[in-house]
Amino acid sequence: MNISMIFTFLGGVGLFLLGMKLMTDGLKVAAGDALREILARGTATTPRGIVSGIGITAIVQSSSAVIFATIGFVN
């Protein structure tokens, strides 16, 4: 493993995290209170939260993206 591969990997991870931050910020502005209400209803109980998480992950095809977006919404 050479230094070029390490920097390429770190750059890719950095771009992924930046994209998640920009997407989360954009959705917060675009949806606002409506998104907050949908998230509150979808995660009101533990089983609902699990089913919602599985459903959204299946649609988005990336559990990492769903996790980062959810953390961003909570903050």
Write out pLDDT tens, residues 39-52: 778 778 888 888 88
Question: Averaging pLDDT over each range in 4-8, 35-39, 54-58, which range is the top one?
Answer: 4-8
pLDDT of residue 74: 65
Average pLDDT over residues 59-72: 73
With respect to residue 33, please indicate whether it lies within any of the assigned structural domains.
yes
CA angle 15, 21, 23 (to 5 degrees): 100
With respect to residue 9, please indicate whether it lies within any of the assigned structural domains.
no
With respect to residue 11, please indicate whether it lies within any of the assigned structural domains.
no
Q: What domain range is 58 assigned to?
A: 19-74
With respect to residue 34, please indicate whether it lies within any of the assigned structural domains.
yes
pLDDT, tens digit (0-9, with 9 covering 90-100), for 7-42: 999 999 999 888 878 877 787 777 777 777 877 787
| Dmax (CA) of the chain | 48
pLDDT of residue 14: 93
Task: Give residue 51's Cα distance to chain centre.
Answer: 16
Domains: count for the chain: 1
